[in-house]
Chain A
Amino acid sequence: MAVYRRPARSRFTLLLLVLTSVTLVTLDYRGAGSGVIEAVKDGARDAFAPVQDASDTVFAPVGNVVGGVLHYGDLEAENERLREENAELRGAALRASDAEREREQLLDLMNLEFVDDIPRVDARVVAVSPSNFELSIEIDRGANDGVVEGMPVVTGAGLVGRIENVSRNRSTVQLLVDDEFSVGIRLTAEGDTGVANGKGVRRAMQVDLVDPGSKLESGQVVVSSGLQQSQFPPGIPVGRITSATSRPNALQQDVKIEPVVDLGRLAFVTVLLWSPR
Chain B
Amino acid sequence: MNRGVRLRLAVAITVVLGLHLTALADLRLAGVRPDAPLLVAITAGLVAGAERGAIVGFAAGVLADLFLPSPFGLSALVYCLVGFGIGSVQSGILRSAWWIPVVTAFTASAAGIVLFAVLGVMVGETEMVGPRLPLIALLVGLMNAALAPAATRLLTWAVRAGTPDRNYAI
- Bound-state CA distance A28–B65 (Å) is 11
Instruction: Name which of B14-22, B96-104, B147-155, B161-169 contacts chain A.
Output: B14-22
Q: Which residues from chain B sit less than 8 Å from chain A, CB to CB?
A: 18, 20-23, 25-26, 28, 30-33, 35, 49-51, 54-55, 58, 61-62, 64-74, 76-77, 80-81, 84, 87-88, 113, 116-117, 120, 123-125, 127-128, 130-132, 136, 140
- How far, in Å, is A130 (CB) from chain B's closest CB? 5
Contacts of A20 in B (CB 8 A): 58, 73, 76
Is B76 a contact of A21 with CB atoms below 8 Å?
Answer: yes
Question: Is the CB of A129 closer than 8 A to any CB of chain B?
Answer: yes
Which residues 227-275 of A have a CB within 8 angstroms of B? 264
Is A202 a contact of B25 with CB atoms below 8 Å?
Answer: no
- How far, in Å, is B72 (CB) from chain A's closest CB? 4
Interface of A is mostly: helix
Is B77 a contact of A21 with CB atoms below 8 Å?
Answer: yes
Is A133 a contact of B74 with CB atoms below 8 Å?
Answer: no
Is B80 a contact of A44 with CB atoms below 8 Å?
Answer: no
Contacts of A6 in B (CB 8 A): 51
Instruction: Name which of A51-59, A73-81, A108-116, A218-226 contacts chain B.
Output: A51-59
- Knowing A10-B51, A202-B31 touch, does A128 contact B25 (C-beta < 8 A)? yes
Which residue of A7, A28, A44, A201 is within 8 Å of B67 (Cβ)? A44
Which residue of B64, B66, B67, B124 is within 8 Å of A29 (Cβ)? B124
Question: Is the CB of A63 closer than 8 A to any CB of chain B?
Answer: yes
Which residues 169-188 of A have a CB within 8 angstroms of B? 172, 179-180
Max chain B Cβ within 10 angstroms of own Cβ: one of A10, A21, A24, A129: A21
Is B136 a contact of A24 with CB atoms below 8 Å?
Answer: no
Is B80 a contact of A17 with CB atoms below 8 Å?
Answer: yes
Contacts of A56 in B (CB 8 A): 22
Is B51 a contact of A9 with CB atoms below 8 Å?
Answer: yes
Q: How many residues of A contact B (CB 8 A)?
A: 48
- Bound-state CA distance A249–B130 (Å) is 30
- Bound-state CA distance A176–B78 (Å) is 28
Question: Is the CB of A144 closer than 8 A to any CB of chain B?
Answer: no
- Knowing A44-B66, A52-B21 touch, does A132 contact B71 (C-beta < 8 A)? no
Contacts of A201 in B (CB 8 A): 31, 132
Q: Mark A56-68, 1 if CB is under 8 A from B, else 0.
A: 1001000100000
- Bound-state CA distance A26–B80 (Å) is 17
Which residue of B21, B120, B123, B130 is within 8 Å of A130 (Cβ)? B21
Which residue of B54, B81, B88, B140 is within 8 Å of A132 (Cβ)? B140
